[in-house]
Amino acid sequence: MRYLPLSETDRGEMLARIGVKHVDELFADVPKSLLLDGPVDLPRRKGELEVERILSRMSSKNVSASSVPFFVGAGAYKHHVPATVDHLIQRSEFLTSYTPYQPEIAQGTLQYLFEFQTQVAALTGMDVANASMYDGSTGTGEAVLMAHRVTKRRKAVLSGGLHPHYVDVVKTLSDMASDDVTVLPPDVMADEDILAQIDDSVSCVVVQSPDVFGNVRDLKAIADKAHQHGALLIAVFTEVVSLGLLESPGAMGADIVVGEGQSIGNALNFGGPYVGLFATQSKYVRQMPGRLCGETVDADGTRGFVLTLSTREQHIRRDKATSNICTNSGLCCLAFTIHMTLLGEAGLARLARINHANAVKLADALGAVKGVEVLNKTFFNEFTIKLSKNAAEVVEQLAAKGVLAGVPVSRLLPGANLDNLLLVASTEVNTDDDRAALAAALKEVL
């Protein structure tokens, strides 16, 4: 198939029809600071073989998470994914299927979505979950918009322990709707006074646990204060395995629970695709974004599945939609469901205990290195350490030694004067040798 580009005349006619003079006007909503001032530094044209060679050279610069001791977390975690998961999701009936526009004839798809929802509701301690979102960050943005619809208020308070990427998504969506967002300063030690921010003008309070610095938080007092003022508590997580060990957000009074499900069934994949988990109380179900699959019986009394709610803009008028995100992460949530089914409740709890035990071993090993201070009082499988040198520079030096040490906080929060802080995570895949390699490398560099 030949690529037939538009001519200048074609472009001119198209721009005239929609009423703009230049194509740049179509990007007016994008901040100018994010726009490139020229073409990307790539060759203008190459043959297929040449492109393959160029991209292969570029990809060879990447260091695979499986090839070296790996302690990177900060919202994306390396866990073991059983071979069964990939084997099953690559079956053609799963891999090639798309969103069921005629749901009654897609019973297999609806059944695994129903099972997925059941698992997410049980994990989060909530009444009902949807059929997934894109990822944890966009799910958090949707949760804030949902809280605005429920409370008829337009102000969100975001904890200083919320992942900065999640904060950015909320701010972007809120800016487009002219909503009010109060973002508290970075809260490394989990000692912020978020209760003082809650009053009758607040729609929702967004708190992450374990937070971006690894601190485990008790949400009960926040939930109580929010409810006293008619606001909702949105509980966020980035490490879903933690729900196998910690008290569920629903049990602590959360109204909406949202987070990232990548850790179960989905490999890192250099950034995605991932799967957003979204759950709420039954009384708010009609304001929940996304799709909801339900169980029923047909005319013969045989068990079957249906799309109970589909209030997305694909199905109803855009101004009435609960979400403008038009698809769920179907294959990723299937992978989640297969892995979770293999684990079972006892298996998930055991996996969570192993994660925590490995992180404790790592904290002990690193805390014994001169120039390293472990800051957390509580954590699950990730924590923050303070180094005697710039963390970003240390990470580069350790990478050169074949150890991927973690994520510098300065990468997530540039300009926050937290340049010596490093986030490190230790999951079930890390060995004693891995932890010893990181401690030895840090000792040498520091």
CATH number assigned to the domain comprising residue 162:
3.40.640.10
pLDDT tens-digit readout, 55-95: 999 899 888 899 999 999 999 999 999 999 999 999 998 98
Residue 10 lies in a domain: no
| % of the chain at pLDDT higher than 70 | 97
Same domain, 333 and 230: yes
pLDDT at 135: 95
The pLDDT, as a whole number, for residue 316 is 65
Give the confidence band of 240 by pLDDT, cuts at 50, 70, 90.
very high
Q: What is the pLDDT of residue 327?
A: 66
Q: In the prediction, which pLDDT does 297 show?
A: 93
102, 103, 304, 312 from 112: Cα distances, Å = 16, 13, 12, 20
Residue partners of 39: CB distance under 8 A and separation at least 6: none
Average pLDDT over residues 336-341: 98
CATH number at residue 358: 3.90.1150.10
| Total count of domains within the chain | 2
- How confident is the model at residue 165, as a pLDDT? 98
Q: What is the pLDDT of residue 63?
A: 87
Q: Which residue has the tokens 């322990």?
A: 161
Same domain, 100 and 186: yes
Q: Domain boundary at 313, 340, 367, which?
A: 340
pLDDT at 103 exceeding the cut of 80: no
What CA–CA distance (Å, rounded) separates 84 from 91?
11
More confident residue, 64 or 182: 182
On whether both 335 and 372 belong to a single domain, the answer is: no
Q: What is the pLDDT of residues 377-391, one digit of tens each?
A: 999 999 999 999 999
Q: How confident is residue 270, by pLDDT bands cut at 50, 70 and 90? A: confident
Q: Grade residue 329 by pLDDT with cuts at 50, 70 and 90.
A: confident
pLDDT at 219 over 70: yes
pLDDT in tens, 109-128: 999 999 999 999 999 999 99
Q: Is the pLDDT of residue 138 over 80?
A: yes
- Does residue 209 share a domain with residue 129? yes
pLDDT band at 311 (very low <50, low <70, confident <90, very high): low
E strand segments, 238-314: 256-260, 276-280, 291-297, 303-310
Pair (289, 433) in one structural domain: no
Q: Positive or negative, the Cα torsion across 367, 373, 379, 383? A: negative
210-214, 295-299, 353-357, range with the lowest pLDDT: 295-299
Model pLDDT, residue 233: 98
For residues 124 and 239, state if they share a domain. Answer: yes
pTM of the predicted model, to two decimals? 0.92
pLDDT for 43 equals 83
Same domain, yes or no: 399 and 303:
no
Q: Which domain holds residue 419?
A: 345-445
Kindly report which listed range (243-247, 251-255, 271-275) carries the lowest average pLDDT score: 271-275
Cα–Cα dist 48/135, whole Å: 33
Name the pLDDT band for 102 (thresholds 50, 70, 90): confident
pLDDT value of position 2:
61
Contact 277, 124 (CB under 8 A): yes
State the CB neighbour count (10 A cutoff) for residue 285.
14
Query: Two tokens at 159?
Result: 């904890």
Closest CA to 424 of 394, 389, 381: 381
To the nearest whole number, what is the mean pLDDT of the chain? 94
Domain end (from 295, 314, 340): 340
Residues 6+ positions from 378 with CB-CB distance below 8 Å: 190, 215, 216
**Average pLDDT in the 158-163 region?**
98
Q: Number of H helices and number of E strands within the chain?
A: 12, 13
Q: Write down which residue in 291, 317, 340 finishes a domain.
A: 340
Q: Is residue 18 part of a domain?
A: no
What is residue 321's predicted lDDT score, i.e. its pLDDT?
78
Task: Quote the strand ranges of 250-302, DSSP E.
Answer: 256-260, 276-280, 291-297
The reply to whether 272 and 356 lie within a common domain is: no
Interacting residues of 311 by C-beta distance below 8 A, sequence separation 6+: 286, 289, 320, 321, 322, 323
d(CA 445, CA 397): 7
Same domain, 107 and 246: yes
Are 193 and 98 in a shared domain? yes
- Give the Cβ contact number of residue 339 at 10 Å: 23
| Nearest Cα to Cα of residue 76 among 355, 439, 406 | 406
Q: At residue 256, does pLDDT exceed 60?
A: yes
Tell me, what's the pLDDT at 37? 87
Distance (Å, rounded) from C-alpha 435 to C-alpha 446? 16
